[in-house]
Amino acid sequence: MTLPPLPQRLPAAVADAHVHIDMGTGRSHNALDLDKDQAEIESLLDLANEVNVTKLVNVGCEIPGARFAIEFAKRYPNVFAAVALHPNEAPRIAREKGIVAFQAALTEIAELATAEKCVAVGETGMDFFRTTELSDLKIQEESFRYHIDLAKRLDKTLMIHDRDSHQDILRVLDSEGIPKRVMMHCFSGDADFAKACLDRGFYLSFAGTVTFKNATNLREALSVTPQDRVLVETDAPFLTPDPHRGSPNASYMIGYTMRFMADHRGEDLTQLCDAVMNNTNRAFNLVN
């Protein structure tokens, strides 16, 4: 698939707080192999560097992807890993392979998360769009609670996937106790939900969706988010920002999202880039 053109280079370095490099430019999960596809992987990293996207948090949210994320991060100094069972993956394993397999998968995630280059437990959370059966929802919540506890035990950032489940996300977090650092991946709520998250000390990460013409609620949420709580991500290969919505996404596309965010907030682009990088370092407990 042909990638969109590079945006203008950003005036200061930023980080992609959530990307799935193993999916390449839109193929299925785990399509890329670290050795066989090294040239393609390094091309994606080079494109990011060309536009001043200098750090990546690569997310593995099923077992093969989590293994990839850890090994990928070990090989490249400015790549970091997040691992978890995705909210839709957890019930799939339990339903298709049984509870023992589900518990074994959680155990492996816990082991992978101890890696030095693993900076977050995620993406975990709740998804009421794709998971709807009561038995599956119970497994989804059990998995979420497990990951919350894991993040606290390992002092890792909790990276949350929230789709159509805003209040239940807060309910579970409040009942379990909130980890030290929490990131709302691909924030999808309105200004009121943003305030509820900010009151709890969360970082809000905005993806290309904030540029979509129908995303009024996201732009209102962006407006109420203090500069020291804003993160940016691609969720590549998904959610390509306008003006290239529908094309493959990659980390370098953050340039489009960052410029949109700065314009919407009425902020200097360089200042916002610096803030986003500083926020990323704090959110994931990284050295500058």
Average pLDDT along the chain: 96
User: Mind listing the pLDDT tens digit for each residue in 141-195?
Assistant: 999 999 999 999 999 999 999 999 999 999 999 999 999 999 999 999 999 999 9
Residue 1's pLDDT is what?
A: 63
What does the alpha-carbon distance between residue 160 and residue 183 come to, in Å, rounded to a whole number?
6
What does the alpha-carbon distance between residue 269 and residue 245 come to, in Å, rounded to a whole number?
22
Residue 24's pLDDT is what?
A: 83
Q: What fold is seen in the domain 14-283?
A: TIM Barrel (3.20.20)
Residue 31's pLDDT is what?
A: 73
The mean pLDDT value for 213-217 works out to: 97
Which residues does residue 59 pair with via DSSP β-bridges, in sequence order?
82
Nearest partner of 164 among 232, 87, 265, judged by Cα: 87
What does the alpha-carbon distance between residue 53 and residue 159 come to, in Å, rounded to a whole number?
20
CA neighbours closer than 13 Å in the CB half-sphere of residue 171: 6
Nearest partner of 34 among 68, 85, 76, judged by Cα: 68
Structure tokens at 19: 């990307």
The mean pLDDT value for 45-56 works out to: 98
Task: Check if the beta carbon of residue 207 is closer than 8 Å to that of residue 287.
Answer: no
The mean pLDDT value for 30-50 works out to: 92
Question: How many residues are listed for the chain in this entry?
Answer: 288
Residue 19's pLDDT is what?
A: 98
What does the alpha-carbon distance between residue 78 and residue 123 come to, in Å, rounded to a whole number?
20
User: Mind listing the pLDDT tens digit for each residue in 116-141?
Assistant: 999 999 999 999 998 899 999 999 99
Whole-angstrom Cα Rg for the chain: 18
Measure the CA angle with vertex 60, ends 4 and 135; round to 5°.
Answer: 115
